[in-house]
Each structure stands twice: as C-alpha cells, then as structure tokens.
Amino acid sequence: MQAPLLRFFQALRDAGVRVSVAESIDAFNAVAVTGFADREALKDALGLVLAKTLPEKALFAECFDLFFARDALELGDAEAAPPPAQSADGEASALGRMLLEGDGGALAAAMEQAANVAGISGISFFTQANVYGRRILAEMGLEALDREIDALRRQATPAASARADVLDRRRKLLGEGVRDFVKRQLAVYAAGKTQAMREEFLSSVKLTNLDRSDFQRMHAIVRTLAKRLATRHARTRRRARRGQLDLRRTLRQNMATDGMLFRTSWKRQKIERPKVMAICDVSGSVAAVARFLLLFLYSMHEVMAGLRAFAFSDRLVEVSDILERNDIEPAIAAILREVGYGSSDYGGSLENFESGWLDLVDHQTSVIIMGDGRGNYTNPRTDILEALSKRCKRLIWLNPEPDALWGSGDSDMLRYRPYCHYAGVCNSVRHLERAMTDLLES
C-alpha cells in the first residue's frame, strides 16, 4: 500500500499540491480504512486530507484520475491462440506465456511493475518517452520474447509458426500499450516539473525581454514569491516580538524557589512594520518592469503598513486607490492608460511628489523608486531627492538598466545615486526578491 501512495504524493507535489508529512500520515490512515477497491471512496478520502484549497482540489482531481487510471491492456484480437508450448531452446518466456494467454489485466500489472523498476516517476520531458518505453519493455522480458519468436520461426512447423505469428502481433500491441502508458505517466509526473523549470527560467530572464504570452505566468510567480516573503517575514516578527530570555531577571524572580525556573522574563524589542512608498516610472522604456513591481508590492500588503504607490511618465499621480478598488490586471492597465508610455520627466515628477506627499514621509518610511533615471535632458531636481533622502528611513532605487549605462546620454542616474541608501540593477524577479528581502530585513 505504501509504494503507490508515496508515488502519488510525489505526483501531487509535482503538480503543485502541497503535501506535508502529517497529511501523508493522514492519507495512509484513510486508505487503511477505505482500501483501493472502491475508487470513488478512495478519491473522496484522499481529497479530504490532501487538498486544502479549491485550486488544489482541482489539481488533485486531475492528478488522481491520471495516476489511478488502470485499464487492462487491449490485445486487439479475440482469436484463440495456440496453447503455450516449449520452444526449441527450452521453456517459453514468461512474457510470451502472458501474451498467448491474452490476460490483459496481468499484462497491465506487469507493465506497471516494470515501469516502477525503470523509474518512470523520473520522467520530465516528452523526448524521454521512447527511452522509458524501451526500459519498461526490457524489464518485462522483451529480449527473451524475441528469442522465443525466433526459435519458433526456426521450427518451421504449422503450430510453431502460428504461435510465432500470434506472439509477434501481440508484441506490437504490447509496444503500443506501453507507449500509451508512458504518455499517461508523462502527464502525471512531468507537467509540474516542466512548469517549475519554466518558472525558474522566467524568474531570471529580463522582464523587458518577456513575451506577452508569459505575463500571466509571471504574475503567478510574483504572487507566489511575495506570499513566501510575507510568510517568512511574519514568522521573523513573531519570534522578535516574543524576544529573548532575560536570564538575569529570570534568576532573580525565581530565587524564592531555589532557582527553579517557574517564572520567566523576556527581553522585548518593539517591531515596527515598514511603511512603503513606491514611485514607479511607467514610461515606454520601463513600463514592462514597473507593472511587475506594482504587482509585487501590492501582493505584500499584509506585511507593509500604509503602502502607497505612485506612477509617472511626464507627471506623477498616486495610484493606490486604483490598485485597491480593482483586480491587479485591470488596475495596472488603467494606470498605464492614465500616465503610461509617455516621455519621462523625473524632475517634474519629483516636483509633483514634493508638493503633494513629501510631508507624509518620515523616519519609518521606505521609499522605492523604480526607473532608469533618464529624464530626456530635463532638470533632474536632485535637491528634491536629497530632501526626500534625509526625511525617509531608506531610499531604494531599482534601475532596470545595466549599471554600465548609468550616466550615458540623458541618464541622470549618477547624479541621483549619492542620495540613495541603495541603488542597484533590477530587471528580473530575482532582483525584485533580493530588494524586497533586504527591505523587510531592515
């Protein structure tokens, strides 16, 4: 019972369903009650203990149907095969006997056992299907079957030729059945692995090089990343809120009990949740990057108090209300329609921020500016950035351009950098994760 369930847990994890050790134990206990005979009862029992959310339940149902599909091997012909007999070289092969008997169920069971020995759970790409198919057939005894067919051909008797014809025809049907089985296992095990590899690639690729067909998947990656960071930060805050054991005070408080630690004292430190203002350049050159930064920051609203977002090209506007009232996709589209894709004017946008929101910045505020620093030769207004830097806790500038291009042409980045607590290249999800981790840990 354990082996198929362990493989099923692996298939679920590959498909994106989280299965903990405790849930695995619950699943074993549930199967001990239901058994494998009643398919629907098995599916309901495992679904209750393994799938927590509606998306996971959908993934579970699809994975269960694929993994537990058990069809007898279809041999295709109903004619009575000649009885198995000894070949010229001795005993008939085990695979040959099963083929002559026409027991599709026994063949399917043997094929699954051979697949497990061949390590079918490791399949990742469709190009591996033929390799695993050959391994399964070899494990089932294809070599011995081929020798048996050759020996029967050499006997040159009507009975031997008839048996050889049946074996050869059913050998081909067995090959087709193995190929179908491997394709089904590919759907079970490889979909999650392929998606994970694709997501790993997308996390490192430059956001400006993304194809529009990858936007939806990138949004899912960013949301998952933000949730992971938020969860990790919440755990850190809970540990920090409890504090460390104050040994001296604890010993003093327990002097009456000869030092037995009945009463404990903790060193506590006030933890302030970070306040963040995000100022995003959404001009034509960096709009693709800014949309992901807005998505990322708003996915982390649970750990960032007072998060406010601004967007600008030639003028700056606050977009917090737009993001709060709408789903993220239409919200970002609305922001880009309002101020996106224009010619960037950093000086004018900093003036807008100074007149409207600079007084709201205090020593608890972290300010993130996302942009390439190219102001089309307008006044950069570094004096406003200097004033902003002095008022805020941290000023972080994330630039999608390589630092070798900073200061070239109309770039004012080298003028802005002295007033930034951190200025770095940010043109991938990996860079965003590094910057946000640094912000939370600070």
For residue 349, give the nearest of 401, 390, 321, 384 by alpha carbon: 384
Distance CA 269, CA 241 (A): 7
Q: Count Cβ neighbours within 10 Å for each residue of 184-219 and write b for 16 or more, e otherwise.
A: ebbbbbbbbeeeeeebeebbebebeebeeebbeebb
Question: In a structure prediction context, what are the per-residue pLDDT tens digits for the chain, which is 442 residues long?
Answer: 677 888 888 888 877 788 888 899 999 999 989 888 888 999 999 999 998 888 889 888 888 888 887 666 777 654 545 554 444 444 578 888 888 888 788 888 898 889 989 988 888 777 888 999 999 999 999 999 999 999 998 888 888 888 888 899 999 989 988 988 888 888 777 766 656 665 666 666 676 666 666 666 666 777 777 666 666 655 555 555 556 777 777 777 777 776 666 677 666 655 555 588 989 999 887 866 777 777 776 666 655 656 788 999 999 999 988 888 888 778 888 888 888 888 899 999 999 999 999 999 998 888 989 899 999 999 999 999 999 999 999 999 989 888 999 999 999 999 999 999 999 888 887 787 777 777 666 6
For residue 212, which amino acid is it? Answer: R
Contact (Cβ atoms closer than 8 angstroms) between residue 415 and residue 380: yes
Q: Which among 77, 75, 87 has a CA at the least distance from the CA of 160?
A: 87
Residue with tokens 């591996």: 128
What is d(CA 239, CA 244) in angstroms, rounded to the nearest whole number? 9
DSSP string of 268-313, one letter each residue: ----PPPEEEEEEE-STTTHHHHHHHHHHHHHTTTT-EEEEEEEES
Does pTM surpass 0.85? no
Query: Strand 394-399 vs strand 365-370: parallel, antiparallel, or unpaired?
Result: parallel
